[in-house]
């Protein structure tokens, strides 16, 4: 994997690597440009992980100086609370991901407030509306540090421009200096600049998208030439139209 992630780009926004590829995580742990890590049960399942705790502890053996988020795997709020404390016990840099609602659409805000009072660092996930941002921020108001993850990429998937909503979310969090707004599920490098321009604190970037960040700000003429060379090289290698 390339290791020059965004280097020289002048990015102010924090870049969190999002994925469950253990080898890639351990490699990226050596890169100071990566400010943290996130994962979720879907990514872990796709990566073929069967032992959740075993995977997490291997990651935490190597990632000690940056935040990393692990998500609860329950729908009942009582079980979420139990799991949250278990996940938190694995490391001081663990942020516990709590979904904004359960699968019935019931708000997790009482649980978020309880876990905050217990001193856990939280990453509230699955947020797509400003109403959700407002409620979550209020529930996290006494936190010593928490992340509010708004899935801008999924907002864009519905045909809506996420930029105005994310800018409004930044304003909603202004009274809460203890909270960080995270632009989740970016689809392209353009989103990194968008997230930074509206004032988001963090953006999660997949391992594949991380490889593309080295091209941030490149000359379009240079990219054009690389594209032409790629087409020509592949045509020659394939032996087309001799």
* Residues identified as active-site: 97
Q: Alpha helices, DSSP H only, in 29-183?
A: 41-46, 52-62, 77-88, 109-117, 130-139, 152-157, 162-172
Q: What is the pLDDT of residue 11?
A: 83
Q: What is the pLDDT of residue 1?
A: 30
Q: Residue 242: helix, strand or coil by DSSP? A: coil
Q: What is the pLDDT of residue 180?
A: 98
Q: What is the pLDDT of residue 9?
A: 47
CA distance 110 to 116: 10
When the candidates are 3.30.200.20, 3.20.20.70, 3.40.190.10, 3.30.360.10, the CATH number that belongs to 14-238 is 3.20.20.70
Q: 């742990």: which residue's tokens?
A: 29
Domains of the chain, residue spans? 14-238
Q: What is the pLDDT of residue 215?
A: 87
For the chain, which residues score pLDDT lower than 70? Answer: 1-9
CA distance 25 to 128: 27
Q: 88 near 94, Cβ under 8 Å?
A: yes
Distant-in-sequence, close-in-space partners of 65: CB < 8 Å, separation ≥ 6: 93
């Amino acid at each position: 994997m390339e290791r020059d992630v965004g280097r020289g780009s002048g990015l102010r926004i924090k870049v969190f690597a999002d994925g469950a590829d253990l080898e890639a995580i351990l490699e990226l742990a050596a890169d100071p440009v990566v400010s943290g890590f996130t994962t979720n049960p879907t990514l872990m399942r796709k990566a073929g992980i069967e032992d959740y705790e075993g995977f997490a502890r291997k990651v935490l053996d190597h990632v000690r100086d940056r935040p990393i988020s692990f998500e609860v795997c329950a729908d009942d709020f009582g079980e979420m609370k139990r799991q949250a404390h278990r996940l938190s016990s694995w490391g001081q840099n663990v942020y516990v991901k709590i979904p904004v609602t359960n699968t019935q659409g019931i708000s997790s805000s009482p649980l978020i407030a309880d876990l905050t009072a217990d001193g856990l660092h939280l990453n509230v996930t699955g947020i797509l509306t400003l109403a959700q941002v407002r409620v979550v921020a209020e529930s996290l108001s006494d936190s010593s540090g928490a992340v509010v993850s708004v899935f801008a990429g999924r907002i864009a998937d519905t045909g809506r421009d996420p930029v105005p909503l994310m800018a409004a979310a930044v304003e909603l969090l202004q009274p809460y200096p203890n909270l960080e707004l995270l632009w989740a599920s970016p689809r392209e490098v353009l989103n990194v600049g968008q997230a930074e321009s509206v004032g988001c604190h963090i953006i999660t970037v997949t391992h594949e998208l991380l490889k593309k960040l080295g091209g941030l700000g490149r000359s379009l003429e240079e990219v054009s030439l690389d594209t032409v060379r790629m087409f020509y090289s592949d045509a020659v290698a394939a032996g087309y139209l001799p």
